[in-house]
């Protein structure tokens, strides 16, 4: 039986991540980048599911039969962004040439104290969102992350920047607890970031055309936004080679106010629009696609930072009610 993406082991394991962190810290980024070539070779030789998934995806997006060099470039791009996490998350943004699109509009919302949901994907580097800290040092960005599924990376990031661990909202908790934590963060004017492109078995999802075939996209995060009535901004952190990143923020929708009886079809329309934007940016940067599994069938999955947001819509309704009860108790 094929494995689902959450059942795949973390690529390289804790020891490999510790080694690359040590080389990056003590040898610098040029030496660490040289180590990416044997890492790429390892994945090409040893990790068959990821290699096959890369080739299948590249055939879709390049509209031709990919070569082994294409697959190697794809894996190397992924490895390069993993390495750059060490520097991005430790605040060494001056090492990078980061071009931003749409940042002034987002900054204006932040200055008004608006809580926002920032929806990203496993396309490019979501960690490039840290560029916001340069312009708004007081801004707190909360990441919704399944800590149990990403233990090695979580420990690595905790060693690099302990504050990041404190800012994580653990998606492994029950749905109501997740929603309450998100709701409280938004009320404080914080940004809450989620990756919204992967659907787990049992997740509420909708099949949509994506790169020429139907793929399942989760609807839970969008139902959450509809329940909490907060704006959504899309974020794409595209790696452009070397030390160059392009960070794109797109204002996607204002505060949603959807009647519950119409939520299913309107949420499906939102997800369809999001999938179109994701496909647009995938074509712009095809080697930035980091879903190393059969995205259209949901098997032979590889790992990366992800979320477990099963049935968030129902949990959001329950969480909102619980939050209202909590507010009444505090008022009393």
Return the structure tokens found at 92: 């060494």
Band of the pLDDT at 327, cuts 50, 70, 90?
very low
Rounded Cα distance, 308 and 140, in Å: 22
**Each residue of 79-100: pLDDT tens digit?**
899 888 888 877 788 889 999 9
For 285-321, give the secondary structure using H, E and C. Answer: CHHHECCCCECCCCECCCCCCCCCCCCHHHHHHHHHH
Q: Residue 306: name the closest of 88, 147, 180 by CA.
A: 147
Distances (CA, A) of 271 to 44, 193, 298: 33, 16, 18
Q: How many CB atoms lie within 10 A of CB 254?
A: 10
Q: Could you tell me the residue range of the domain that residue 135 belongs to?
A: 5-331
Mean pLDDT, residues 175-192? 91
319 contacts 137 by C-beta, under 8 angstroms: no
* pTM across the whole model: 0.85
290 contacts 151 by C-beta, under 8 angstroms: no
**Per-residue pLDDT at 332:** 37
Return the structure tokens found at 46: 């040893």
Q: Residue 128: name the closest of 21, 239, 17 by CA.
A: 239
Helix, strand or coil, per DSSP, at residue 188: coil
217 contacts 197 by C-beta, under 8 angstroms: yes
Band of the pLDDT at 112, cuts 50, 70, 90?
confident
> Of residues 1 and 125, which shows the higher confidence score?
125
Rounded Cα distance, 193 and 53, in Å: 27
**Each residue of 195-252: pLDDT tens digit?**
999 987 778 899 999 999 999 999 999 999 988 989 999 999 999 999 999 999 999 9
Return the structure tokens found at 53: 């998934």
Cα-atom radius of gyration of the chain, to the nearest Å? 19
Band of the pLDDT at 175, cuts 50, 70, 90?
confident
Please give the tally of structural domains in the chain. 1
Rounded Cα distance, 251 and 249, in Å: 7
CA dihedral 141, 145, 147, 149 (to 10 degrees): -150
Rounded Cα distance, 256 and 183, in Å: 15
Place of tokens 């914080």: 190
Place of tokens 């129902």: 314
Q: Is the pLDDT of residue 111 over 50?
A: yes
72 contacts 223 by C-beta, under 8 angstroms: no
Return the structure tokens found at 64: 């031709």
Within the chain, how many helices (H) and strands (E) appear?
A: 12, 9
**Per-residue pLDDT at 17:** 66
H helices of 1-138, in order, are 13-34, 36-46, 48-62, 68-88, 103-111, 132-135
Rounded Cα distance, 313 and 220, in Å: 5
Local structure of residue 172 (DSSP, 8 states): T
């Amino acid at each position: 039986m094929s494995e689902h993406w959450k059942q795949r082991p973390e690529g390289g394991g804790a020891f490999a991540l510790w080694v690359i962190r040590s080389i990056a810290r003590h040898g610098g980024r040029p030496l660490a980048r040289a180590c990416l070539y044997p890492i790429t070779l390892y994945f090409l030789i040893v990790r068959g599911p990821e290699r096959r998934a890369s080739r299948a995806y590249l055939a879709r997006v390049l509209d031709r039969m990919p070569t082994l060099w294409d697959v190697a470039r794809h894996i190397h791009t992924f490895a390069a962004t993993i390495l750059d996490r060490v520097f991005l998350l430790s605040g060494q943004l001056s090492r990078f040439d980061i071009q931003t699109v749409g940042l002034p509009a987002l900054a204006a919302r932040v200055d008004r104290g608006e809580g926002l949901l920032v929806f990203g994907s496993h396309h490019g580097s979501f960690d490039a969102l840290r560029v916001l800290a340069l312009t708004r040092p007081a801004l707190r960005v909360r990441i919704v992350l399944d800590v149990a599924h990403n233990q090695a990376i979580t420990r690595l990031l905790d060693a690099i920047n302990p504050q990041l661990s404190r800012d994580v909202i653990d998606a492994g908790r029950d749905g109501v607890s997740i929603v309450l934590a998100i709701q409280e963060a938004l009320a404080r004017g914080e940004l809450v970031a989620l990756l919204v492109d992967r659907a787990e078995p049992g997740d509420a999802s909708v099949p949509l055309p994506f790169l020429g075939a139907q793929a399942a996209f989760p609807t839970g995060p969008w139902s959450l936004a509809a329940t909490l009535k907060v704006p959504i901004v899309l974020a794409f952190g595209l790696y452009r080679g070397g030390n160059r990143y392009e960070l794109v923020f797109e204002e996607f929708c204002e505060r949603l106010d959807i009647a519950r009886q119409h939520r299913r079809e309107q949420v499906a329309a939102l997800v369809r629009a999001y999938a179109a934007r994701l496909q647009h940016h995938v074509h712009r940067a095809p080697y930035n696609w980091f879903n190393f599994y059969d995205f259209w069938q949901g098997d032979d999955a590889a790992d990366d930072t992800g979320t477990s947001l099963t049935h968030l819509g129902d949990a959001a309704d329950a969480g909102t009610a619980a939050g209202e009860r909590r507010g009444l108790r505090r008022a009393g």
